[in-house]
């Protein structure tokens, strides 16, 4: 080989190496560079549109370098990922950056201690809506209606309720100082509460004597719910009953097994829900034999847009098998199963992997637009009743709660009421 030939082949090898380096990012993904990329190499503004990945990279870099003020690259990246996943219009397929992913873990593990009370939003902080029996909160003297204005000396006025709850929760056995406004006292008091493991009661009942109707509120579906349901039902059935209202408003769901257990009180060996996966395979759940209960009276289920998941399966099945009338507004529309995929940087991707179907109701999964605004989905009530903004939810006084009042009318129509409209 002469000198020129050697040089040429050497140059060829070097150029080949350059091409290899250039194409490497695509080769990693098992493809060749597209026309746009190759054209860009030679400085040609190609007619071929930039690939979606390139468009994303371009926008990402543009915002980092050209936006009027500095932007944190990591947060920007996460915002992009959130947008990517929400573009499918499924509110349950979401990207969770490291911090949110952590909170989700805590929630599912639920190994945090609390004070044993339920909190609601209030302009001054958080309002105690319910204190569990024998809970640390009760021992410390906290009562329903009290308002928490500070936690460990830090004011919580104006904070989001979720943030306040996070501040109150902590390691089991540790102490938390709550500044509380109590109705009977002039000044706020500071109460010290020892956090403990809380098993929240999920079922509550009340006999409404005036209408002879039983009222049962189910807050969520967890392990002891079916058992608690039986106990409360027995209490109600000690009275003459013309009907039963099961209140599932704001019930976010919980365990599917718990809903199946409960439904087994109503019908035996029947389909509850069918799950359909991406690859076409199906799984289903059925009620068990041997738990049937004889309900001798009509049943109405109260629901709203915050009734979701297991609560929808429960109410949907009662509706599908003709065992209950649904009253209220459309439910949330959680009709899918998600899997959480952890990612390398402690963030994670929650992706809907299956849909579930009720025995007869068509698919009721929630659809939202890009801003997360509800478009469609959820179970439709048999009797529609929007909550009057002036309502006070109080089973002692059912007339102050127009949805509950409507449910009672559905069960127990008296001529004077049914001719009202």
Partner 1 sequence: MLRRRMNDRISNMNDTTKSVYTSLGIVFSVGAICLGLKVRERTDIGGIQATTRVAGSSRMLASRSNDVNVPAADYFYELSQKLKEQYVEPVADDQKLATGAIRGMIASLGDPDSTFMDKDQFKAFLNARTGKYEGIGADLVLSTENHTTAPKTPGQPSAGEISPEEALVLVREIPRVQVVNVVPGGPADKAGVQVGDTVDSIDGHWVVQSDLIRKFRIASKKFNEKKMSRADLEALRTEIRIKFERAIFPMKAKDKLFMGKAGDVNVVWNRNGTMRKTKITKGVSSLSGFTVKNDTVMLPFQEGSAAQLKSAIQGKSSVTIDLRHNTLGDIQSMKQCLEVIAPKGEYGYFVTNRHDTPTPLNVLKGNSNPPKIHVLTDKSTRGMAEAFALALDSKGLIPHDKFLLGGDRTNRQIVQLPDGSGYTLVTSEYQAKLAKSTKSMTARKGGVK
Binding residues among 164-223 for partner 1 as defined by CB under 8 A: none
7, 8, 25, 293: residue in contact with partner 1 (rule CB under 8 A): 25
Write out the binding residues for partner 1, residues 334-393 only, by CB under 8 A.
Answer: 336, 339, 341-346, 349, 351-355, 370-371, 373, 389-390
Work out whether 18 is an interface residue with partner 1 (CB under 8 A). Answer: yes
Take residue 112 and report the two structure tokens written for it. Answer: 């945090």
Residue 374 to residue 386: CA distance in whole angstroms = 16
CA pair distance 337, 103, nearest whole angstrom? 19
Q: Which stretch binds partner 1 (CB under 8 A): 15-23, 101-109, 211-219, 285-293?
A: 15-23
The Cβ of residue 268 has, within 10 Å, a number of other Cβ atoms equal to: 14
Does residue 4 belong to the site contacting partner 1 (CB under 8 A)? no
Q: Which of 85, 165, 271, 383 binds partner 1 (CB under 8 A)?
A: 85
Sheet with 243-247: list strands edge to edge: 203-208, 213-218, 243-247, 299-303, 325-328, 383-384
Nearest approach, Cβ of residue 367 and partner 1 (Å): 12
Stretch of 6-14, 289-297, 375-383, 396-404 lying at the interface with partner 1 (CB under 8 A): 6-14
Query: Helix or strand or coil: residue 211?
Result: coil
Question: In this structure, what token pair is assigned to residue 172?
Answer: 């089991």
Burial class (CB in 10 A: 0-12, 13-18, 19+), 130: middle
Q: How far apart are CB 52 and partner 1 at their closest, in Å?
A: 3
Containing 328, the helix (H) or strand (E) segment is strand 325-328
Closest separation between CB of residue 82 and partner 1, Å?
A: 5
Among 58, 99, 154, 384, binds partner 1 (CB under 8 A): 58
Cα(385)–Cα(307) distance, rounded to whole angstroms? 14
Residue from 7, 8, 15, 190 touching partner 1 (CB under 8 A): that is 15
Q: Which of 51, 166, 212, 402 contacts partner 1 by CB under 8 A?
A: 51
CB closer to partner 1 out of 137 and 349: 349
| DSSP character string of 370-417 | TT--EEE-SPPPSEE-PPPTT----TTSGGGSHHHHHHHHHHS--HHH
280 binds partner 1 (CB under 8 A): no
Q: According to the binding rule CB under 8 A, does residue 22 interact with partner 1?
A: yes
Tell me if 99 contacts partner 1 by CB under 8 A. Answer: no
Determine if 277 is a binding residue for partner 1 (CB under 8 A).
yes
CA distance 322 to 300: 11
Could you say whether residue 20 binds partner 1 (CB under 8 A)? yes
> For residue 394, what are the contacts with CB-CB under 8 A and spacing of at least 6?
400, 401
**E strand intervals along 156-304:** 175-181, 189-194, 203-208, 213-218, 243-247, 271-277, 282-286, 299-303
Out of 7, 8, 13, 234, the only residue in the binding site for partner 1 (CB under 8 A) is: 13
- Part in contact with partner 1 (CB under 8 A); list of ranges 57-65, 161-169, 232-240, 403-411: 57-65
Per-residue contact flags (x/-) with partner 1 for residues 126 to 165, judged by CB under 8 A: -------------------------------xx-------
């Amino acid at each position: 080989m002469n000198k020129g030939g050697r040089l040429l082949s050497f140059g060829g090898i070097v150029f080949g190496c350059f091409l290899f380096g250039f194409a490497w990012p695509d080769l990693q993904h098992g493809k060749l560079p597209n026309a746009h990329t190759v054209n860009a190499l030679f400085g040609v503004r190609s007619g071929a549109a930039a690939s979606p990945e390139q468009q994303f990279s371009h926008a990402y870099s543009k915002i980092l370098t050209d936006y009027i003020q500095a932007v944190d690259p990591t947060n920007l990246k996460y915002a992009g990922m959130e947008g990517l996943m929400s573009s499918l219009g499924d509110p349950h397929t979401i990207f969770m950056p490291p911090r949110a992913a952590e909170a989700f873990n805590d929630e599912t593990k639920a190994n945090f201690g609390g004070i044993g009370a339920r909190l609601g939003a209030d302009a001054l902080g958080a309002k105690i809506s319910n204190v569990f029996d024998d809970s640390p909160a009760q021992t410390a003297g906290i009562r329903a209606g009290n308002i928490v204005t500070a936690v460990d000396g830090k004011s919580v006025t104006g904070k989001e309720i979720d943030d306040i709850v996070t501040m109150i929760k902590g390691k089991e056995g540790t102490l938390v100082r709550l500044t509380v406004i109590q109705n009977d006292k002039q000044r706020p008091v500071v109460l010290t509460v020892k956090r403990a493991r809380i098993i929240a009661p999920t079922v509550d009942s009340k006999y409404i004597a005036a209408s002879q109707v039983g009222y049962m509120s189910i807050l969520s579906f967890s392990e002891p719910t079916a058992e608690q349901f039986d106990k409360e039902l027995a209490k109600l059935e000690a009275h003459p009953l013309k009907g039963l209202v099961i209140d599932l408003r704001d019930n976010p769901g919980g365990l599917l097994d718990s809903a199946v257990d409960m439904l087994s009180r109503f019908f035996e060996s029947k389909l509850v829900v069918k799950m359909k996966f991406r690859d076409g395979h199906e799984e289903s759940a059925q009620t068990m034999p041997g738990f049937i209960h004889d309900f001798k009276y009509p049943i109405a289920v109260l629901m709203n847009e915050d009734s979701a998941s297991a609560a929808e399966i429960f109410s949907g099945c009662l509706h599908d098998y003709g065992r209950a009338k649904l009253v209220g507004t459309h439910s949330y529309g959680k009709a899918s199963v998600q899997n959480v995929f952890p990612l390398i940087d402690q963030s994670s991707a929650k992706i809907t992997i299956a849909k579930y179907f009720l025995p007869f109701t068509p698919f009721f999964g929630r659809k939202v637009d890009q801003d997360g605004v509800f478009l469609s989905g959820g179970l439709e009530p048999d009797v529609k009743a929007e909550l009057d903004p002036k309502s006070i939810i109080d089973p002692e006084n059912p007339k102050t709660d127009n949805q509950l009042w409507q449910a009672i009318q559905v069960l127990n129509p008296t001529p004077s009421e049914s001719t009202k409209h």
